[in-house]
Amino acid sequence: MYGHCARIAWLLVLATSGQRIATAQAVHPVTGRHIAPVMGVNGADWLEREERQREEQPEKAILAFHLKPGMQVGDVGAGTGFYSLRMARAIAPGGVVYAEDIQPGMLERLNSNAATQHVGNVVTVLGTETDPRLPAGKLDLVVLVDVYHEFSRPQRMLDRIRDALKPDGRLILLEFRKEDPSVPIRPEHKMSVDEVRAEVTPEGYHFDEVIDTLPWQHIIVFRKAESVQ
């Protein structure tokens, strides 16, 4: 088995290899942040790596989401369902996770994982780069786990996500901490709290709080601003 440092080095090579969808890198018009390329299906094993449980501590993150049975939750950029399936268990009975991704291959793996784990309250949604196609006005919470920094059209996506939230709905972003140089992730796949706030708030959201209980990631919470139509 790889040592920790060697494993991280391998993951960083993977993140820059042909395992990613080739897109022209752009910058965000507000912060000038370089938008990262999207991970392709051939790199999906990285989402299910053994080390992820230790590095990201998803159970601790999900506790911070304050999930309850019966909630309607969106997981945008759900990948293979690492978070979707965990959240689905937390909101049962009666709750539904809408697991969105723009790649059919990711959703196929997610559905397979859900079947294997006997999780039946996940609905997969094939979105686009400009619209996650979530049900309008229905969701209590939308979660973006290590994915917002890859949105090629972030302002448009935030607009559509806001449309999917209930009036008191929340948006939660998990992003690797750019402020911490010891976090072993490429810079374009990390974001600072200031960057996130500067980009998200103008799109119809109120900043709520930052929860820094995870080893490498910020949990950044926003609420829908009702005054924005």
Torsion of CA 76, 80, 83, 87, to 10 degrees: 90
- DSSP codes joined into one string, 36-91: PPPBPGGGGGGGG-TTHHHHH-HHHHHHHHT--TT-EEEEET-TTSTTHHHHHHHT
**What is d(CA 132, CA 199) in angstroms, rounded to the nearest whole number?**
18
Q: At residue 62, does pLDDT exceed 90?
A: yes
> Residue 5 — very low, low, confident or very high, per pLDDT cuts 50/70/90?
very low
- Average pLDDT for 119-136: 98
For the chain, how long is the longest CA-to-CA vector? 53
Q: What's the pLDDT at 49?
A: 86
Q: Which amino acid is at 164?
A: A
Place of tokens 């942040």: 33
Q: Which amino acid is at 199?
A: E
DSSP-derived letter for residue 27 is B
> Residue 227 — very low, low, confident or very high, per pLDDT cuts 50/70/90?
low
Using omega within 30 degrees of 0 as the cis cutoff, is the peptide bond preceding 184 cis? no
Alpha-carbon torsion (203, 210, 79, 36), positive or negative: positive
> Bridge-partner residues for 123, per DSSP?
98
pLDDT digits (tens, 9 = 90+) for 142-176: 999 999 999 999 999 999 999 999 999 999 999 99
Q: What's the pLDDT at 25?
A: 55
pTM for the model stands at 0.88
Q: Do the beta carbons of residue 121 and residue 165 sit within 8 Å?
A: no
Closest CA to 75 of 97, 96, 53: 97
Where do the domains of the chain lie? Answer: 4-224
pLDDT digits (tens, 9 = 90+) for 80-122: 999 999 999 999 999 999 999 999 999 999 999 999 999 999 9
Q: Which amino acid is at 74?
A: G
Place of tokens 């006997």: 118
4-224, what's its fold? Rossmann fold (3.40.50)
